[in-house]
Structure 1
Amino acid sequence: MSEEPVREWEANVYEFLTADIPESAMNAGSNVVLNVVAATVAGSTVSAHQHAQAAPLADGNATVLGTDKSYHPTHSALLNTAAAITPEIEEGHNWGGHVGASIVAGAIGVAEAENCSGEEFVKACVRSYELCVRIEYAIFAMKAKLNEAVPWLLRDPHATWTTIGPALTAAQCMGATGEQLREVFRTAANLAVISMHDPYEEGAPARNFTAGYSAQAGVSAAVLAMSGVKGSATAIADVYDPFQSMLEEGEFDRLFSELGTVWEIENAYFKWAPSCRYTHPPLDALEQMDIEAICPSEIESIDVYTYANAVAMGQKHPKTMTGAKFSIPYVLARRLVAGPLELADFMSAAVADTATQQLADRVNVHHDDAFEAAFPDEWGASVEITLTSGETLHKTCPYPKGDYRNPLSETAFRSLCKDLFATAVGDETAQSAVDGWSEIMNTEIRSLIELLSPK
């Protein structure tokens, strides 16, 4: 079995895992941690997660965030990561998926059990993020070929990098040596937890738990590698060499040669509404209009033009919370009917609202070549509202609020996180939690998690 890196990009990975991290990347990492923790706390209140929290899981000292329950770190990884993605308001990256959710929520139980400092945890998260976002970029290049080759929808972001992220973060929190980190990476880089169908439109709770299973596998890989289980060196070549031909010549190697100099975590985005990000460009275009002056009954039709991935979110009649979060017609209709979107707008009573359903019937989503050509660098959409009077309103959004080129203000970001915390712990505790987690670099993880206990 090879003890040395079998490829230059693999050598870059191991060198990077001990590299210094600049202040700007650490600050970005702190924000990712705060956002994901807040989303996890909010997600823990959803009924499916409350049922799961009562399952006969292994005892341990890793907290299920936002609750008074603790389990073994592998099981807290399962529950916390599933909860993190449920509200659909966690951090993401333009290259494809929600990179930080499994890294933060998956490994935070290990950080707690190991009594890590906040600074240690953020460093581990940042390093894992930089590796995972590059793996993500390559996997998305492969995704279309996979979907053509098999009769299943192999949809990410619940796949390989959501295993690598918690594995490497957990191992760093456990004090892994360079040799152990190598085996953790080789093991996790050869794992993929992929559902054969993504029921995002149906909204089955299993959809969100796939991310939890992936994180659980990652933490398990770290625990076993730390105990001496070896990963596969051959897999590094056999699994990842094909990416060389799927990407432009030299691009895959360049991604990893830039480790330590290009910090992609600084390009993370933060959502401002609790729905799939593909719904955000049209929602943001809508927000540019004087929509408070528009009566829904006076709308003849709404036409949305966007890139192909978002067109898949054109279902008009979601039946569940998750289904509604992945429906552009529902999101736009609900905003026009009920005002600024909150978590409550995706609960069963709101989803069944007659006025919202009737307006969603009049929303049509179309593919647009220009937006397709700009994607994924720009996540754009245009919205045209035709009123019964014949008047038309039109706005375009090249990339929505929360994008690194159109960031939320610090006040808006902290307010968002406070509202998410408040769903589980109340307003007063939520403010203390935001203040505490904003000082993560100077605090122990255990102390911060104690701020999230329901009073």
Structure 2
Amino acid sequence: MIPQTPVRDWERHVYDFLTTEIPDEVREEGRRLVTDVLSATVAGAVAPQHEQVFREAAMAEGGASVLGTNRRVDPSQAALLNVTAAITQEMEEGHNRGGHVGASIVAGAVGVAEANDVAGKEFVDACIRSYELCTRLEYALFAMKARINDAVPWLVRNPHSTWTTVGPALTSAVCLGLDADQCRETFRTAANLAVVSMHDPYAEGAPSRNFTAGFSAQAGVSVATCAAAGLRGSAAAIEAVYDPFEDILGDGEFDALFASLGDDWWLTEAYHKQYPSCRYTHAPLDALRAAGVDGLAVDDIERIDVSTYRNGVDMSHTRPQTTTAAKFSTPYVLARWIADGELRLDHFGGDALEEEHVQALSERVHFHVDDELEAAFPESWGASVELTTTSGATYTGRRAYPSGDYRDPLSEEAFDERTRALLALGLGVESDSEAVERARRALDDVETVPVGETVEALSRQ
């Protein structure tokens, strides 16, 4: 007989939370999450490295839109493409303790919500609840990650996949109107399912890299669809897979993570990106800006020394040749800022990557591990920078965490500017056009209208 009740206290906390009332201030953060991810998704759909696949891949027709296009496919296949697009521009939100779970939750399930004529408020609330669960699961996974990688170095690589099947699965279950029993089986199945990429080729920038996130979301939506038809999950897996987290975290912390659901809202600590690049590059850039280097030219720079936490040092590759590689290259990001005094979406592809003075400067950026910043990670993702000019002058700056962090949030004006830029790119219009304004209003009103109306405003006409 398959157990019908939770087999662990933390599992019970999960199911109790699915009906917990959401405070208004948290729901506003949920609306901001949806705006962040959906605008990034629209922009990612037109990325040159994916555009042909999005247009020509054979897929079943259905009631779910591929955002930023005029294509409608089966919801699980829409999840594949939409989540791939959501992470492509490196502008989607994230959480210091929980990775990039929002992209899979929102972009993965929006097609299910559209196809089933779900109300905006119901969708936003489902995304919030999934976010709270997934950030906690990711936090525990990160604690285990070092041990896993010591044994099998390639096993857990891409933070956009692996355990992010749970988010789109549960959000989809709500949007499909599944009952409590079916939601439990959805969670049990998704919580025992991981889409593992054996290598995260961010430095190479292979186009397939972003699809790993899409495959994870597609799996999550498929779990909910199958649970609706009677698929049952494994109660034993809840014990076998998750009991080790109690030992790794210690002192009952794993159970406490889920006992805090409904009281401690992790969504309120989400970050929103100011720059269209990997967040590991942001604190070094903020530190460079804090050093007061405005007015210096590329040829004035002898070297730039970056001190940061160990994960940030991994972003040290120079002379990137692809869009994704450039977004994950701190040397390129710093060199581009020195050259142009800004960082735009179009700085990561095409002719921009051919500019020799920028690429040459990237080779003069050097990295060092800072023990203090390493100890503060992942609560704070900090960096310090020392720039030395050819004349021997030095400029120094330091940041404890990047701009856009919940402790230094983007202003409403800055958030609106980034949203408009993403929508304009994806819709192929100017940022002050009526199409962008219509899409922006639709995102503002996402809670008050059916999801289908919001999606319509985010599609190419």
Give the TM-score taking structure 1 as reference length: 0.98
Is 1:188 equivalent to 2:190 in the alignment? yes
Counterpart Cα distance in 1 of 2:131 and 2:235 = 22
Counterpart Cα distance in 1 of 2:42 and 2:304 = 35
Equivalent residue runs for 1:422-441 within 5 Å: 422-425=424-427, 426=429, 427=431, 428=433, 429-441=435-447
Deviation of the 1:248 alpha carbon: 2.7
Counterpart Cα distance in 1 of 2:440 and 2:155 = 38
CA contact (8 A) 2:154 2:199 kept: yes
Q: Which of residues 265, 268, 279 in structure 2 aligns to 1:266?
A: 268
Counterpart Cα distance in 2 of 1:382 and 1:148 = 29
Is 1:450 equivalent to 2:452 in the alignment? no
Change beyond 3 A, Cα 1:153–1:184: closer
SS at match of 2:95: coil
CA contact (8 A) 2:100 2:160 kept: no
SS at match of 1:303: strand
| Per-residue deviation, residues 295-333 of structure 1 (Å, max 9, x unmatched) | 111111000000000000011121110011111101100
Q: Which residue of 2 aligns with 1:171?
A: 173
SS at match of 2:204: coil
Counterpart Cα distance in 1 of 2:50 and 2:172 = 23
Q: Which of residues 116, 119, 124 in structure 2 aligns to 1:117?
A: 119
Counterpart Cα distance in 2 of 1:288 and 1:407 = 17
Q: Please say which of residues 286-295 and 326-335 is displaced more in the overlay.
A: 286-295
Deviation of the 1:453 alpha carbon: 2.2
CA contact (8 A) 2:163 2:195 kept: no
Runs of at least 5 residues in structure 1 that lack an aligned partner in the other structure? none
Amino acid corresponding to residue 433 of structure 1 in structure 2: A
Q: Which residue of 2 aligns with 1:138?
A: 140
Q: Which residue of 2 aligns with 1:3?
A: 4
Q: Which residue of 1 aligns with 2:362?
A: 360
Equivalent residue runs for 1:277-292 within 5 Å: 277-292=279-294
Amino acid corresponding to residue 441 of structure 1 in structure 2: E
Equivalent residue runs for 1:43-442 within 5 Å: 43-53=44-54, 54-152=56-154, 154-425=156-427, 426=429, 427=431, 428=433, 429-442=435-448
Counterpart Cα distance in 2 of 1:159 and 1:85 = 11
CA RMSD between the two structures = 1.0
Deviation of the 1:351 alpha carbon: 1.7
Counterpart Cα distance in 2 of 1:60 and 1:441 = 24
CA contact (8 A) 1:184 1:222 kept: yes
| Per-residue deviation, residues 270-312 of structure 1 (Å, max 9, x unmatched) | 0011000000000111122333311111111000000000000
Counterpart Cα distance in 1 of 2:379 and 2:152 = 28
Amino acid corresponding to residue 25 of structure 1 in structure 2: V
Counterpart Cα distance in 1 of 2:114 and 2:228 = 17
Pairs aligned (count) = 455
CA contact (8 A) 2:98 2:136 kept: no
Q: Please say which of residues 197-206 and 288-297 is displaced more in the overlay.
A: 288-297
CA contact (8 A) 1:16 1:127 kept: yes
| Per-residue deviation, residues 132-168 of structure 1 (Å, max 9, x unmatched) | 0000000001111111101425213133431000000
SS at match of 1:241: helix
CA contact (8 A) 1:65 1:452 kept: yes
**Identity across matched positions, percent:** 54
Deviation of the 1:397 alpha carbon: 0.5
| Per-residue deviation, residues 406-447 of structure 1 (Å, max 9, x unmatched) | 000011101111110001222321122112211211111111
| Per-residue deviation, residues 199-255 of structure 1 (Å, max 9, x unmatched) | 111000111000000000000000001110000000000000000011131110100
Amino acid corresponding to residue 85 of structure 2 in structure 1: A
Counterpart Cα distance in 2 of 1:454 and 1:224 = 31
| Per-residue deviation, residues 108-133 of structure 1 (Å, max 9, x unmatched) | 00000011111010000000000000
Counterpart Cα distance in 1 of 2:87 and 2:23 = 28
CA contact (8 A) 2:120 2:446 kept: yes
CA contact (8 A) 1:153 1:198 kept: no
| Per-residue deviation, residues 56-108 of structure 1 (Å, max 9, x unmatched) | 11110100001100100000000000000000010000014111000000000
| Per-residue deviation, residues 365-398 of structure 1 (Å, max 9, x unmatched) | 1111010011111110001000111110000010
Deviation of the 1:347 alpha carbon: 0.5
Amino acid corresponding to residue 185 of structure 2 in structure 1: E
CA contact (8 A) 2:155 2:196 kept: no
Counterpart Cα distance in 2 of 1:297 and 1:269 = 34
CA contact (8 A) 1:96 1:157 kept: no
Q: Please say which of residues 310-319 and 70-79 is displaced more in the overlay.
A: 310-319
